Amino acid sequence: MRVALDTNVLARADGVNGATMKNQAVEILAKLSVQTVFVPAQVLAELFNLLVRKDKQTPAYARETILRWRGQFPVMETSGDVIASAVDLAERHRLSIWDSIVLSSAAEAGCALLISEDLQDGFEWRGVTVANPFGRAKNELLRRALGER
């Protein structure tokens, strides 16, 4: 099963929200099969911005972080088709354009799961289910992706 990661998962794994949340995110990432995980290009751009603006890191640090994630997981490009479907998604479901680009990228790449803390847990669109890995109850697809029963 193909899985896409949202910005918040990578940000947590980098320690943006403290050690406890970092440990949670690192544990989740460790359980995923690296061959099935993808990162939308939009996520890397958002992470750079978050690291520099919110976490007050230097642009050089943010750049190195982005390059590290880019080297760990394949990046899903933001094509014209992704933008077109993201605009439709944003309009129909009142999502931000940025979240819509991430979800549209996941759909375009054939992902069945988008791991995100920000979008509504259980939301489904074009074959992609959004799952919050940090909530109490885990979505069935997420449990499968994590190798849990």
Residue 137: the pLDDT is: 82
Rounded to whole angstroms, the Cα distance separating 70 from 122 reads 27
Residue 149: the pLDDT is: 76
Q: What's the rounded mean pLDDT across residues 118-127?
A: 95
The CB-side HSE value for 34 (13 A sphere, CA atoms) comes to: 7
Residue 146: the pLDDT is: 93
Instruction: Report the SS3 class of residue 108.
Output: helix
Rounded to whole angstroms, the Cα distance separating 61 from 59 reads 5
Q: Which pair of tokens denotes residue 3?
A: 């899985």
Question: Which CATH number fits the domain that encloses residue 64?
Answer: 3.40.50.1010
Residue 41: the pLDDT is: 97
Which residue type does 29 have? L
Q: Is the dihedral of CA 72, 37, 104, 55 positive or negative?
A: negative
pLDDT tens for residues 11-31?
999 999 889 999 999 999 999
Residue 17: the pLDDT is: 86
Which residue type does 12 have? R
Q: What's the rounded mean pLDDT across residues 96-112?
A: 97
Q: Which pair of tokens denotes residue 100?
A: 């819509």
Strands 75-76 and 124-125: unpaired
Q: Which residue has the higher pLDDT, 128 or 17?
A: 128
Closest CA to 51 of 70, 64, 38: 64
Rounded to whole angstroms, the Cα distance separating 86 from 70 reads 22
Q: What's the rounded mean pLDDT across residues 54-80?
A: 96
Band of pLDDT at residue 123, cut at 50, 70 and 90: very high
Q: Which residue has the higher pLDDT, 149 or 98?
A: 98
**Domain hosting residue 100, numbered range:** 3-145
Q: What is the value of pTM for the model shown?
A: 0.95
Band of pLDDT at residue 136, cut at 50, 70 and 90: confident
Band of pLDDT at residue 97, cut at 50, 70 and 90: very high
Mean pLDDT, the chain, as a whole number?
95
Q: How many domains does the chain have?
A: 1
